[in-house]
Structure 1
Amino acid sequence: MGGQFGITHDDAKDNTTFTIAPEFGYAFNDMWTVAGMIGYTHMDNYNSFYIAPYARWTFFKRDFLSLLVDSGLGFSTGKYKGADSVNGFEIGFKPGISFNLTDNFALVAHYGFLGYRDKYNGNSVSGLSLKGNELSFSLYYCF
């Protein structure tokens, strides 16, 4: 169980963004986990909902450090005020690193995306993306 939370304010645009995305999953063993994220993002004139199931492969584990890759797909729907809603999807890979803080808590960071996105949360790309907004941090609690 884990997830992401964020709140930012852009002074130049006078725009506040709020995101919450809880995650739930099941670890079959030290190498394989199946999980999913359900997220909601709100900006001053935009709302988005997304769901993203994935499989996590942990290919390196040493002491408190693990290297991993999440492979999955995601579906999103978003709407600007006064406009039609836009649906999108993604399929691809997200590399990451996990810091196992205790037996029950882990901090996971992802950076980058390799795959295809079609209007997923507002952008469409294919290939490798290493933009700054591809960086995310999650805190996990393992039962």
Structure 2
Amino acid sequence: MKKIFMTLAAVCVAATMNAQVYVGGGLGLASTSQDGDTNTKLKLMPEIGYNINDSWAIGVAFGYAENEQKVKAGNLTVSAKDKVFQINPYARYTFAKFDKVNLFLDGGLDYIHEDPAVGNKVNTFGLGIKPGIAVNLNDKLSFVAHAGFLGWQSEKEDVDGAKAANTFGFDLDGSNLSFGVYYNF
């Protein structure tokens, strides 16, 4: 076991010395309050990737999100918390480079597990492409944004006899926008 750990550590050190590994991701926190009711959302989406060459990279984003709602009814407060886990391995193709700006496409798989406070658990699988832009602030730091999705998703409740809802299409509106920061080793 010790040899395996040492080998993995040596591989990680060698990879980072070649300046091909990046880490980063996104973080979100929001709280809404109205008439004593609150809704708090938290999302943590770390990411790690490896640049194969100037055009191709592989990586994985994984994360956790929760939405906690507290509703007051007289002297009683009712609380409910929805939880979401997701993992998204991808291959990134950078098709255009302009000085400090890169345009890319992430082709990947999605797995999302939703555990709502009320109702059944839901599993979602997907396969698709997400366009993105990276702004290289300096040699080590990049600002990254994804906008939209083109692909297929299958959503199914986690109960016996449930049928999947399959969707194929594209979504390029502002609600499908994400931002992140990467640190390049």
TM-score by length of 2: 0.71
C-alpha displacement at 1:124, in angstroms?
6.5
Counterpart of 1:64 in structure 2 is 100
Partner residue of 1:7?
A: 29
Structure 1 residues 68 and 139, CA gap change in structure 2 (3 angstroms): same
* In structure 1, distance between residues paired with 2:142 and 2:181: 6
**Counterpart secondary structure, 1:14:** strand
> How many Å separate the matches in 2 of 1:114 and 1:102?
31
Structure 1: state its 5+ residue gaps: none
Deviation at 1:42, TM superposition (A): 0.4
> Cα deviation per residue 1:58-106 (whole Å; 9 max; x = unaligned)?
0011210111000001111111114331111111000011101111111
Once the two structures are overlaid, the 10-residue window that deviates more, 4-13 or 130-139, is 4-13
Determine which of 13, 21, 34 is the counterpart of 2:58: 34
What CA deviation, in whole Å up to 9, does each residue of 1:27-56 have, x standing for no partner? Answer: 011100000001100001210100000000
Deviation string 1:113-142 (CA, Å, 9 cap, x unpaired) is 01112239xx96421102322111110011
Which structure has the bigger radius of gyration?
A: 2
Counterpart residue number, 2:89: 53
Work out the CA distance in 2 between the residues paired with 1:55 and 1:119.
23
Q: Give me the whole-angstrom Cα distance separating, in 2, the residues matched to 1:66 and 1:100.
A: 8
CA distance in 2, matches of 1:116, 1:69: 16
Q: Identity of counterpart residues, as a percentage? A: 39
Q: Aligned AA for 2:89? A: P
Q: Secondary structure at the match of 2:175?
A: helix
1:83 paired residue number: 119
What is the TM-score normalised by the length of structure 1?
A: 0.91
Structure 2 gap ranges (5+): 1-22, 69-80, 157-164
One-letter amino acid of the structure 1 residue matched with residue 138 of structure 2: T
Counterpart residue number, 2:172: 130
* CA 1:108–1:124: 2 relative to 1, 3 Å: farther
Number of the residue aligned with 2:44: 20
Higher strand share: 1
Structural RMSD (CA): 1.8
Aligned partners of 2:152, 2:114: CA distance in 1, in Å?
18
